[in-house]
Amino acid sequence: MTSDQIDLALPVVQAFVARAQSSFVHGERVAHDDNTWFDSLDPATGQPLTQVNEAGAGVVDHAARSAQSAFDSVWGSMLPAERERLLHRLADLLEANATELAQFDALESGKPVASVEAIDVALAVEQFRYYAGWPTKLQGATIPVASPDSHVYTRREPLGVVAAITPWNFPLCQAAIKLAPALAAGNTVVLKPSELTSMSSLRLAELAMEAGFPPGVLNVVTGTGPVTGQALITHPLIHKISFTGSEAVGRHLAAEAGRALKHVSLELGGKNPHVVFADADVDKAAAYAATTAFFYTGQVCFAGSRLMVERSALDQVMATLEEHARGLVMGGGLSETATMGPLSSELQREKVERYLQNAQDSKAQIAFGGKRPGGDLAAGYFLEPTAVLEPADDDAVVAEEIFGPVVVVQPFDDVEELVSRANAGNFGLTAGVWTRDGAKAHSVAARLKAGTVWVNTYGDFNAAAPWGGFRASGLGRDCGPEGLDKYLQTKTVWMALS
């Protein structure tokens, strides 16, 4: 029995879902080299949506060779203005097909479709438009060496074939964040989406063909991390691994990249301190705290998952948090009324529940939530939005990324204590600071160990603004000029003038 939600999808999405999903290489879906298929499930119902082929070493090799051949024959030498034109065309096609693309991600991830269209698809379009402006601006430099007989200059050159490996929680958007700069820099790509969310990446590859990208420039291999992903990252034609996902897998990929001396960049998890000082606009801060704790069921790397509140503002913030949580409507990705989706899988829900049980065992208080809803939602992987009040700093619920609708709330009494406790974990992706005191805002923003600090706001993101983690949250930056640099290498040319 397939998921009931399919009936709510556009006919074109229904037709796509009805096909089994296999890899896309050199401009077409390829036959699989073994017979391993698995179901992609709708997390809102637990029912199958579509079948996905696990690409083995043969398909991965075909994809890597196709990407190398496209790099050698056409993409690496294409005029920058032509690459720019194709990237703009792809952005236009993504925009024109926004509803369809949003439905793929909403079905497979369970995220509310309206938000996926307004946020994820819009961010994907923005990535292609931003990086479309770059191919014509990739300049080298002339170097004034201390020799009258030498003309020395640099060239910015692509790396070759890039492996782009993406997580399930922002499938289309993360694919765009990798593809747009990698392609703009002149690389070709083999993209491996998460095994939970293959469809939007496959559709993106089809749209790239429609835009006029030469076959082989963008290939998609479907399958799980240990099989398809592992074959991809260890393939000798892959020169760079660009990864977004969990810390554990990131560490493994970094080790593999080290062994083979491949370039690697990692965008990993976070446990993000979201700090509310009592001198802030507490109404606004509390509203943001509530929204960003449960946005996309808390399954977001930048979730405001560790809420640190100056003690005198605690009651007000807790009241807003609870009121917001009670107003959230749980439901499937294509439901018109749902404002919060399910967890990604049964395993993930059980993991979140273990965190909550352990926190209670060590005397933290579950302020609200923590239960599975019944009725129509019982078959899906839903869990109520939950707040854990005053857990100890060394409790796993504080130190680790839970990736669920769980916010831990920790009161604090002064700035020094706040900074030291907020910086105590391993992660360093994002942080938020709410205060009306400008000097305090700048001072705390400078002292927090995080790749992004939002002051009197939270969650803003733009293709032009560097994004990435300190410490265990990653290596390298997405977005902006730095997001392009990691897909380029510098060549120095010395020319004798005499």
Residue ranges that bind ligand NAD, judged by CB under 6 A = 165-170, 192, 194-195, 224-226, 229-230, 233, 244-246, 249, 252, 267-270, 301, 401, 403, 429, 469, 474
Cα 391 to Cα 246: distance, rounded to the nearest angstrom:
24
Name the residue with the smallest CB distance to ligand NAD. Answer: 225
Closest CA to 38 of 296, 345, 243, 348: 345
Cα 395 to Cα 408: distance, rounded to the nearest angstrom:
10
Nearer to ligand NAD (CB atom), residue 315 or residue 350? 350
Q: Which of 206, 247, 301, 384 is catalytic?
A: 301
Kindly state the smallest distance separating residue 341's Cβ from ligand NAD, in Å. Answer: 15
Kindly state the smallest distance separating residue 219's Cβ from ligand NAD, in Å. Answer: 15
Nearer to ligand NAD (CB atom), residue 267 or residue 384? 267
Nearer to ligand NAD (CB atom), residue 134 or residue 296? 296
Q: Which residues pair with 452 in a beta bridge?
A: 430
Sheet order of strands, 273-276 included:
365-368, 386-389, 406-412, 306-310, 273-276, 430-434, 452-455
Cα 483 to Cα 334: distance, rounded to the nearest angstrom:
33
Q: Which residues contact 350 (CB under 8 A, 6 or more apart)?
A: none
Kindly state the smallest distance separating residue 256's Cβ from ligand NAD, in Å. Answer: 7
Kindly state the smallest distance separating residue 305's Cβ from ligand NAD, in Å. Answer: 10
Kindly state the smallest distance separating residue 450's Cβ from ligand NAD, in Å. Answer: 11
Nearer to ligand NAD (CB atom), residue 101 or residue 309? 101
| Active-site residue, 301 included | yes
| Active-site residue, 267 included | yes
Nearer to ligand NAD (CB atom), residue 201 or residue 320? 201
Kindly state the smallest distance separating residue 14's Cβ from ligand NAD, in Å. Answer: 25
Cα 308 to Cα 432: distance, rounded to the nearest angstrom:
10
Nearer to ligand NAD (CB atom), residue 101 or residue 233? 233
Cα 24 to Cα 34: distance, rounded to the nearest angstrom:
16
Kindly state the smallest distance separating residue 173's Cβ from ligand NAD, in Å. Answer: 9
Closest CA to 385 of 404, 402, 413, 400: 404
Closest CA to 390 of 370, 372, 409, 373: 409
Sign for the CA dihedral angle at 371, 375, 381, 386 comes to negative
Write the DSSP assignment of 363-401 as a string of letters.
T-EEEE------GGGTTS-----EEEES--TTSHHHHS-
Nearer to ligand NAD (CB atom), residue 86 or residue 463? 463
Please give the C-alpha separations between residue 393 and each of 335, 362, 427, 431, in angstroms, as whole numbers.
Answer: 38, 12, 14, 17
Residue 344, SS3? coil
Q: Which of 54, 267, 384, 401 is catalytic?
A: 267
Catalytic machinery residues: 267, 301
